Amino acid sequence: MNDKLKEEIRKTLGILKNGGVILYPTDTIWGLGCDATNPEAVKRIYDIKKRADNKSMLVLLDDAGKIASYADVPDIALDLIEVADKPTTIIYPGAKRLAPNLIAEDGTIGIRITREEFTRSLIFRYNKPIVSTSANISGQPAPTNFNEISDEIKQAVDYVVTYRQDDPYQPSPSSVIWIGEGGVIKILRP
């Protein structure tokens, strides 16, 4: 990891620790993020997106071994993570130890294990899950790269990560898989 990336992670950690909201590159699209255990920070993201807080957002973790700390993990989930060939968000039952306003009304939470260098290193160092939601006002198209993010969003956050801003890569959203009781699976987005 180069010094520039280390410095960017250090700055971002400071914002997260102080309850701030970040605009950052993920393994899919640019996202708004915060400490997933901090209800006030989560509320700020809902406010920035002008989104009702009954629509849950997903969280990123750096290691599948940490999922059980935040949700019930059916055995099939770890198999799905292992064979996934693209970013995959899994909706787990029994969400716990997260900001209450982040958890869906049915007690579920979407969790994705990131393999992208910046987010993986950031979450490893922070040692808590980070919210990840598209960097747009609710109802507007999700930006596919940094240049498509509105000034309104950029100005509303506490810190805009500089890493990968010039990346022309046009990623696609993650697959979304719901896992219910007894390991029942529904593919919500292939």
Q: What is the pLDDT along the chain (190 residues), one digit of tens a residue?
A: 788 889 999 999 999 999 999 999 999 989 999 999 999 999 999 999 998 776 779 999 999 999 999 999 998 998 999 999 899 999 999 999 999 999 999 999 999 999 999 999 999 999 999 999 999 999 898 888 899 999 999 999 999 999 989 887 777 788 999 998 777 899 999 8
Q: How many CB atoms lie under 10 A from the CB of residue 27? A: 20
pTM: 0.94
The CA distance from 67 to 78, in Å, is 10
The CA distance from 143 to 100, in Å, is 27
Find residue 110's DSSP bridge partners.
Answer: 91
Which residues of the chain form beta strands (DSSP E)? 22-25, 30-33, 58-61, 88-92, 109-113, 130-134, 159-160, 175-179, 185-189
The CA distance from 135 to 32, in Å, is 5
